[in-house]
Amino acid sequence: MSSSSTAPIPKRNLIIVAALAVVVIAAAWFARNLEAPQKDTKQRLELAKTAVLSYYEEKGELPPNLEAVVAAGHAESIPSDRIGTPLVYTKIGNGVVEIKTLGPDGKEGGWMFKRDHSIRFEVPTP
């Protein structure tokens, strides 16, 4: 009778496979958790844009600031990012508006986790 036996898998190979599995799982978790805050920020910027456009439709002009949008009843409170910092509203000119968050560091610029997010749009000018 012939018995077939398989050679045991070397311990080193098992450690490599386990390490690769940990890296893949960590990368998936990291990507998922990185995406959620960005999605939330984009939604907040879009809501602020909608409030500004609503103000524009009612008044026929862009608001001087986000406080005016709240005072006119187009937003419940001054739009902020997910950590509570008010969004920055800038009229660039010729009906172009930029609304942005300065990121968690509260400073202009930045990269990766501290980068700014913005939305720029144009309203028709008379």
The one-character DSSP state at 86 is B
- Domain locations in the chain? 36-122
Residue 121's pLDDT is 94
Contact, 82 vs 43, CB < 8 A? Answer: no
Please give the backbone phi and psi of residue 30, each rounded to the nearest 5 degrees, phi first.
-60, -45
pLDDT at residue 35 in the model: 56
Q: Closest Cα partner for 66 from 57, 81, 58, 77? A: 77
Tens-digit pLDDT profile for residues 38-91: 788 889 999 999 999 999 999 999 999 999 999 999 999 999 888 888 999 999
What residue type is assigned to position 70 of the chain?
Answer: V
* pLDDT in the model for residue 52: 96
For residue 10, what pLDDT is reported? 78
- DSSP-H helix ranges across 60-123: 66-71
Question: Is the distance from CB of 73 to CB of 79 less than 8 angstroms?
Answer: no
The 10s digit of each residue's pLDDT in 89-106 is 999 988 999 999 987 777
What does DSSP assign to residue 84?
S
Using CA atoms, how far apart are residues 40 and 124, in angstroms rounded to an integer?
28
